[in-house]
Structure 1
Amino acid sequence: MTISSSNRREPAIAEMTAILDAIKSRDPDRAEAAARHHVEQAWSIAQKLLRSR
Structure 2
Amino acid sequence: MMIFTCEEHVDIAIDQYVDETEQAPDLLPVDNSEKQCYFCSKQAVYVVGG
How high is the TM-score relative to the length of structure 2? 0.36
Q: Higher relative contact order by CA 8 Å / sep ≥ 6: 1 or 2?
A: 2
How high is the TM-score relative to the length of structure 1? 0.34
Q: Which has the higher helix share?
A: 1
